[in-house]
Amino acid sequence: MEVVLLWLDDLDDLVFATAFVRERLRRWLLRLGLLTALVMAGCELLEAALAWTPLLASVALACVVGWLASVALLVADRRAEAA
């Protein structure tokens, strides 16, 4: 019985560590997306830097998609816990 309790404790630690990493990744993606959007807005002001706009827009879009995927997984996890 003690072995099962130790295994469940390890599993609990793994779940919370994964949730913490996912939350840090989600926040990092939001910061990167915001920074990219601000740089893209700055590039719009400088005509010479317009070539960077498509690349920066792609990075910002990837950050938003990553954030939305993380939120969707979080909502799915919470619904599964409630059921």
Q: Is the pLDDT of residue 61 over 80?
A: yes
Q: Is the pLDDT of residue 6 over 80?
A: no
Residue 71: its pLDDT value, please? 82
Residue 48: its pLDDT value, please? 65
Mean pLDDT across the stretch 63-73?
84
State the residue range of the domain holding 26: 2-82
* Count of structural domains within the chain: 1
Residue whose tokens read 């469940």: 8
Residue whose tokens read 């979080």: 74
pLDDT digit string, tens, across residues 24-58: 887 888 888 788 878 877 776 777 667 777 887 88
Quote the mean pLDDT of the chain: 78
